[in-house]
Homo-oligomer: A and B are copies of this chain.
């Protein structure tokens, strides 16, 4: 029967390490932090002893932090990052997006030996949590995802820690750092693919315009339509009335309304809903892809992808990674970069659901 431990054991300290390696604590510390003043042989000896006595997992986090706080040194701490998950009135699939982002961010942070502190902000009073983390010096910066606007950014700036926005935002006033997806490019990529197959009448169906990405996608769709010389019938890019409930009768109605020239391809620009649309199309006797090609949008991490439809994929975990790296740079560089933006490109995965029109 295993007896559960209740107290942490006395940990191996830097003192112990120094004694065993026959150097001063100064040298031991400097050696572990790869300071150039330490002779290579010494550094290696210290590293070897650290490994042997189990110090390789690092020094006391609290002591290191406290000691470093004395100097405004070159090496600013980058130990903990607050990941703010901003929950707005609209929720829905944001959760999966958040998780994918967080996953990527955590991966990058772990490699930098930093960790991710999760903070869910929904109510007004949740900001107290954020303030506490800043004022008690728990975190060194923020990653924030959700419906970020100017008010939010000001709030974060007041805490005097840098932040990087993950995904789209509605900030107009100040410069911000952000990592996002080229959503106009998503629609363009989808169009280019089916246009190359010979389609000319291609419809966009997507959600209501609650999110920024949905607007961008539709805008991108409309301009790509024009630039690629495709049919620009406004009904092809209008809001599809059936989208919310995917009722078979309304889908049928929508198709019938096109009369003699229905779309030969559909780009469904909302996360994880295309599979259902496919079932519905089939249930009303539409042959996919023979009659209508179908192209999907997958906004998730790489290993979520189980669909075998043709689809445009956006790398949300990569976005999280990039945002974390960006924040690391901002925190440690201390450079004068006021704003920065990384925009990730989508990729197309060819599946069975798109063919040339007959």
Contact = CB atoms under 8 A, between A and B. Distances in A.
Interface string A44-68: 0000000000100111111101100
A150 B113 CA distance: 28
Interface in A260-306: 276, 279-280, 282-283, 303-304
Interface string A1-21: 111111111010000000000
A188 interface: no
A2 B120 contact: no
B157 A5 contact: yes
B157 A129 contact: no
Given A3-B338, A99-B95, A138-B115, A62 B57 contact: no
Interface of A: 1-9, 11, 54, 57-63, 65-66, 69, 72, 76, 80, 83, 91, 95-96, 98-99, 102-103, 106-107, 110, 113, 115-120, 126, 128-129, 131-138, 153-154, 157, 160-162, 173-175, 248, 276, 279-280, 282-283, 303-304, 330, 334, 338
Given A118-B83, A132-B113, A175-B2, A160 B102 contact: no
Given A7-B72, A117-B117, A57 B136 contact: yes
A107 to B, nearest CB: 7
A62 B66 contact: yes
Contacts of A69: 60, 62
Nearest to A125: B110
Contact of A110 (B3, B91, B129, B248): B129
A163 to B, nearest CB: 9
A117 B120 contact: no
Nearest to A76: B7
A65 to B, nearest CB: 4
Given A98-B99, A99-B99, A129-B110, A175 B1 contact: yes
B106 A119 contact: yes
Task: Tell me which of A126, A133, A135 has the highest count of chain B C-beta atoms within 10 A of its own C-beta.
Answer: A135
Given A7-B72, A8-B161, A276-B279, A173 B2 contact: yes
Contact of A7 (B5, B59, B160): B160
A283 B283 CA distance: 6
Given A116-B118, A132-B57, A137 B8 contact: yes
A45 to B, nearest CB: 21
Q: What 9 A-B pairs have minimum CB-CB distances, sorted nearest first?
A: A2-B174, A57-B135, A62-B65, A283-B283, A61-B136, A62-B62, A5-B160, A62-B66, A58-B136
A227 B132 CA distance: 54
Contacts of A338: 3-4
Contacts of A304: 95
Contacts of A131: 57
A59 B126 CA distance: 19
14 contacts: A4-B338, A5-B160, A8-B160, A54-B135, A59-B136, A61-B136, A95-B304, A106-B120, A107-B120, A110-B129, A116-B119, A276-B279, A279-B283, A283-B283
